[in-house]
Chains A and B, each alone.
Chain A
């Protein structure tokens, strides 16, 4: 029964007069009193609301943990420790940073104020970082991770303070949010990140226990990559370093290095050693896979910037030794193809890191490259330059310029070696001296070098865009991975429901999830089987098409043998019957007939053995032996056309599909055969097998060279297109004699096997030289 107003007032007065006031009781009484107000009332919030906001609204536990790390970033921390331990009786997540910490006031009026976000008041942190979240619910995401959170924080002003929340206490019916106590405590110490034996005086340490969900290897992997979006892509810089430790996937227990540089189109490094006028450049791009190293004179660089022969500037750089790293990115989906990242992650990474920053002794010098700074973010005036001449790359290299949000850069200087680059006394930044302007020109010239390189490789970029379509087997792999991920997620949900924190979940609630897991497992198996069958079928079709193509080309040989066999036999019969019988000639004709009957039989065997079932499964095969067998089978046809064919090279074994290797080889040999026949004179074809490792991947080459007319430069780009053929008749008749499918099949198989194919002119035979590189699998 509700108390009367008089009773409530009396109890309140009594409590207020006590020396050690019970503030909880005072709060409850005033709340009850306020309900008696006849003119004004207010909402009451059910304790469960916090569960809905936190646990239920956060997508997954990785996202929840990332939210906590983002808070570290916003607190201007340089170092963050993230620990995830959930095996061998351990059960905790710890996030510790060396940021500015929270005062008691921050904690009570900020952290405990649901929905409040300091980020709405200021978009940038004290040191100028762009804050990463605005909703003010990052802290309750901790509920998604575990039942209990203990937060310890330390500031210079207030010292250490801690609070403890048991989220499960909110998960009860009929309680008001303010009925649940949040324990405040005052610990003696805080464990902030330790780097090189040093810890910070300030920071925040969050420990979450009673974890709601077990962490899988893929969860940790995902966490690692999401964390990497928050870190700058330069290993040396000490702006924001995250150290991940866990007992689930030990290989990810390491410093989180940004892997996003993998998505960069071009990487440029410039080094000036502080003496003379030479600047050393290294430029790499993901299209040519080559590293260009070149030396440029300082004056030459200035000419590039100012487009004038004798720019007014110092002969040598006055700024002292300096190095620069530039990463150029495109904010498009194609950039993340072949990497572990999503385009949304790349964009977030670019939002966090775009700009060219100056690092002195590996610490960022404000305001250069910082997004909030009016003069600092685009201190190189790249945006203004682009606005003046917005020419796209397609219009030619000279006027093409990049935009600042496509670039992440780091200029490395030091206090000891770059004395002239001193701090400005009046405002943040460096003194704008001659040395500073030299440094600025050095960076601008380097950007110009990058732009010129990009314009030079533009045709390759265009070509790469044309051929971005993933191969059938890669697409199939993606589908399988996605299904596996669905299954894993369902299993996580099931585990979560069965965990201690949710004992209330009845078997009736779990059963449908169990069924779903079974269903997904069943579908995964079926999809897996269907994909395997389809890929196998694709393999058979490629093999059959190869037989078709080779039969068209070598068919003449078989037909010739059949007619020769028939006519020679008939001749022999007539010669024996003639008067007088010509026995010797008859025997010679019978011998000929027999020889050609064997040829026909061997061609039949050639066709039949092409698509044998055992050749369609992946297994260890001797590549050289396979090549030798194909060459042996085709030799009679080649010899019939006076083509000397030989196989060379070294014996090597790789796990692969024999049918794929044979299809590649037969198609290339069919082309070589046709090419040789176009020209008279000496005809030769050489097949070579050799080891070649690429980018630390073991592999091998299958090379086919011939004495034909070679592939004209203008056709090199087109020969892999379906239905395009350069095969001509011997007399050079303009009509194409090919199907235009052989090389398309070869390219498709090579792509599926993660290899590549190139065509050039053979130095020895002077005809075409096809080189197929394939990775070697064990």
Chain B
């Protein structure tokens, strides 16, 4: 993940839109648009507040991390054959959906990922079946499939919200200097699970605070010494 840090810096926590979204990744613009309309119509029917966003495949795999983070993506629907179309000034990419899913899973282990394809029996796709939550056929993309997507999104969101809440509690505890060793371990695990960039400087920061406090103490002592001298 060479560009991970760069993307974090680029997108940070300044999310463009805080609404949770489902992203459709497809090189065919017409197909992408139809899938988006369809998904939106069914989500509306299911009274879902989830939004839908569609995107032409990024040239680099690593661009997806920043995209998921900044757009608050909570599920992805990826076409298998991503390498055919070009768009405006963007050339066709050289990977397919089952390659992309492996890369995304390296970081987002539990994010719901679906594939929407004309060839669900494709042997390359079938080999990667464990990486996906579901493989859907474009011919059978109905409300039934969309309700499966919706449930997966909610489950992912709930798990994420619980863990974010625990994460907030622990960080506050540590911030006020009441954190114990167990809190540090939990925080580290949650950071990994929630894909928050690890900050291994916490202990160093504490030491720095101690050092800072010592410096303040030293200044206090200096102030007393100065006052004593002046009063002589």
Residues on A lying within 8 angstroms of B by beta carbon are 556, 559-560, 562-564, 566-568, 570-571, 574-575, 578, 585, 589, 592, 596, 640-642, 677-683, 729-731, 733, 735
Contacts A556-B81, A559-B118, A730-B83 given; does A683 touch B34 at CB 8 Å: no
Instruction: List the B side residues contacting A677 at CB < 8 Å.
Output: 83-84, 92
Is residue B115 contacting chain A, with contact meaning CB distance below 8 A? Answer: no
Bound: A642/B82 CA distance, A: 12
A678 and B94 contact, CB distance less than 8 A: yes
- As a 0/1 sequence over residues 132 to 170 of chain B, the CB contacts with chain A under 8 angstroms (1 = contact) are 000001110100000000000000000000000000000
Query: What residues of A have a CB within 8 angstroms of the CB of B83 in the complex?
Result: 677, 680, 730
CB-CB under 8 A for A641 and B85, given A556-B118, A560-B31, A681-B91? yes
Find out whether the CB atom of B85 lies under 8 angstroms from the CB atom of A731: no
Q: List chain A residues, Cβ under 8 A from B96.
A: 729-731
Q: Which of B1-43 contact A (CB under 8 A)?
A: 28, 30-31, 33-35, 37-38, 41
B38 touches A571 (CB 8 A): yes
Q: Give the residue name and chain of the B residue nearest to A641 (CB).
A: B84
- Please tell me if B110 contacts chain A, counting CB pairs below 8 Å: no
Q: Can you list 6 A-B pairs, Cβ within 8 angstroms, ordered by A?
A: A556-B84, A562-B118, A575-B37, A641-B92, A642-B91, A680-B93
Contact among A575, A592, A730 with B94 in the assembled complex (CB-CB below 8 Å): A730
Bound form: Cα–Cα A574–B34 in Å = 12
**Closest residue of A by beta carbon distance from B87:** A642
A461 shortest CB reach to chain B, Å: 42
CB distance from B136 to the nearest CB of A (A): 11
Q: How far is the CA of A678 from the CA of B38 in the complex (A)?
A: 31
CB proximity of B66 to chain A, nearest CB, Å: 20
- Residue in B30, B41, B91 whose beta carbon sits within 8 Å of that of A680 in the complex: B91
Q: Which residues of B contact A563 (CB under 8 A)?
A: 118, 137-139
Which residues on the B side are within 8 Å of A556 (C-beta)?
A: 81, 84, 118-119
A218 CA to B43 CA, complexed, in Å? 85
Closest residue to B94 on the A side, CB-wise?
Answer: A680
Nearest-CB residue, chain B, relative to A730: B83
The yes or no answer to B72 lying at the interface (CB within 8 A) is no
The answer for the CA separation of A563 and B31 in the assembled complex, in Å, is 9
Q: Which residue on B lies nearest to A640, using beta carbons?
A: B84
Q: Which residues of A contact B139 (CB under 8 A)?
A: 562-563, 566
Are B34 and A564 in contact (CB-based, < 8 A)? yes
B51 within 8 A of A: no
A511 to B123, CA, bound (A): 70
* A681: chain B residues within 8 A (beta carbon): 91-92
> Which residue on A lies nearest to B84, using beta carbons?
A641
Cβ-defined contact, B34 with A735, below 8 A: no
CA distance A679 to B37 in the complex (A): 31
Residue of A nearest to B95 (CB): A731
Q: Does B124 contact A (CB under 8 A)?
A: yes
Chain B positions 162-199 with a Cβ under 8 Å from a chain A Cβ? none
Q: Chain A residues near B92 (CB, 8 Å)?
A: 641-642, 677, 680-681, 683
Give a binary string over B74-91; 1 marks a CB under 8 Å from any A CB, 0 the rest: 000000010111100001
Cα of A730 to Cα of B139 in the assembled complex, Å: 24
Q: Which residue of B lies closest to A737 (CB)?
A: B124
Q: A564-B30, A592-B34 are in contact. Are A571 and B84 (CB under 8 A)?
A: no
Complex CA distance for A680 and B94, rounded to whole angstroms = 5
* Closest beta carbon of chain B to A665's beta carbon, Å: 22
Question: Closest residue of chain B to A557, judged by CB?
Answer: B84
Whether A642 lies near B85 (C-beta < 8 A) is yes
Contact B84 A679 (CB under 8 A): no
Closest beta carbon of chain A to B143's beta carbon, Å: 10
Most buried by A among B33, B37, B119: B37
Residues of the A chain whose Cβ atoms lie less than 8 Å from the Cβ of B119: 556, 559
Given A560-B28, A730-B83 in contact, is the A578-B41 Cβ separation under 8 Å?
yes
Chain B hits for A733, CB < 8 A = 124
Contact residues on B (Cβ < 8 Å of other chain), bracket: 20 to 34
With A and B bound together, what is the CA distance between A560 and B27 in angstroms? 12
Q: Are B31 and A564 in contact, with the CB atoms below 8 A?
A: yes
Most chain A CB atoms below 10 A, which of B44, B92, B138: B92
A571 touching B41, Cβ below 8 Å: yes
| C-alpha gap A642/B28 in the complex (Å) | 10
- Specify the chain A residue showing the minimal Cβ separation from B28: A560
| Cα(A556)–Cα(B44), bound, Å | 30
- CB within 8 Å for A567 and B94 given contacts A575-B41, A640-B85: no
* Contact (A567, B34) CB under 8 Å given A640-B84, A642-B86: yes
- Report whether B38 and A570 are in contact in the complex, using a CB–CB cutoff of 8 Å: yes
Contact across chains for B41 and A679 when beta carbons are under 8 A apart: no
Q: What residues of A have a CB within 8 angstroms of the CB of B99 in the complex?
A: 731
Do the beta carbons of B84 and A642 come within 8 Å of each other?
yes
Cβ-defined contact, B141 with A567, below 8 A: yes
The answer to whether B35 and A567 have CB atoms under 8 Å apart is yes
User: Top 7 A-B pairs ranked by shortest CB distance?
Assistant: A563-B138, A559-B118, A642-B86, A680-B94, A641-B84, A730-B83, A731-B99
Chain A residue with Cβ nearest B31: A564
Q: How far is the CA of A193 from the CA of B34 in the complex (A)?
A: 93
State the Cβ distance, B7 to closest chain A Cβ, in Å: 21
Chain A residues with CB below 8 A from B44, complex form: 578
Which residues does chain A contribute within 8 Å of B95, judged by CB atoms?
730-731
Contact residue among A578, A640, A682 (Cβ-Cβ distance under 8 Å from B91): A682
A737 to chain B, nearest CB (A): 9
Instruction: Verify A589–B94 contact, CB threshold 8 A.
Output: no
Tell which of A559, A562, A589, A682 touches B37, judged by Cβ atoms closer than 8 Å. A589
Q: Bound state CA distance, A177 and B85, in angstroms?
A: 96
A562 contacts across to B, CB distance below 8 A: 118, 139
Bound: A335/B38 CA distance, A: 70
- Asked if A560 and B35 make an inter-chain contact with CB atoms under 8 angstroms apart, the answer reads no
Q: Which residues from A are CB-within-8-Å of B38?
A: 567, 570-571
A735 to B81: give the CA distance in the assembly, Å.
16
- Residues from chain B with Cβ under 8 Å of A564 in the complex: 30-31, 34, 138
Minimum C-beta distance from A640 to chain B (A): 6
Could you tell me the distance between the alpha carbons of A261 and B186 in the complex, rounded to whole angstroms?
A: 91
Interface pair A735/B31, CB less than 8 Å apart: no
In the complex, are the beta carbons of B37 and A585 less than 8 A apart? yes
Given A560-B118, A640-B84, are A568 and B94 also a contact pair (CB < 8 Å)?
A: no
Nearest CB in chain B: distance from A597 CB, A: 13
CB distance from B85 to the nearest CB of A (A): 6
Q: Which residue of A lies closest to B116 (CB)?
A: A563
CA distance A567 to B140 in the complex (A): 9
CA distance A559 to B120 in the complex (A): 12
A568-B34, A642-B84 provided; 15 other pairs, C-beta below 8 A?
Answer: A556-B84, A556-B119, A560-B118, A562-B139, A563-B137, A563-B138, A567-B34, A570-B38, A592-B33, A640-B85, A677-B92, A682-B91, A731-B94, A731-B99, A735-B123
Tell which of A566, A679, A735 touches B124, judged by Cβ atoms closer than 8 Å. A735
| Minimum distance in angstroms from B91 CB to a CB of chain A | 5
- B185 to chain A minimum Cβ distance, whole angstroms, is 39
How near does chain A come to B31, taking the closest CB pair, in angstroms? 6
Instruction: Tell me the smallest distance from the CB of A328 to a CB of chain B, in Å.
Output: 52
**Cα separation A506 to B9 with both chains bound (whole Å):** 112
Bound CA span A575–B94, Å: 35
Which residues of B lie under 8 Å from residue A559 when comparing CB positions?
A: 118-119
Bound-state CA distance A729–B118 (Å) is 17
Contacts of A683 in B (CB 8 A): 92
B32-62 contacts to A (CB < 8 Å): 33-35, 37-38, 41, 44, 59
From A578, A592, A679, give the contact of B30 (CB < 8 A). Answer: A592
Please give, as numbers and ranges, the residues of chain B lying within 8 Å of A729 by CB-CB distance: 96, 124
Measured in the bound complex, the distance between the Cα atoms of B37 and A567 in whole Å is 10
Residues of A within 8 A of B141 (CB): 567
Residues of B within 8 A of A575 (CB): 37, 41
Residues of B within 8 A of A570 (CB): 38
Chain B residues with CB below 8 A from A596, complex form: 30
Specify the chain A residue showing the minimal Cβ separation from B100. A731
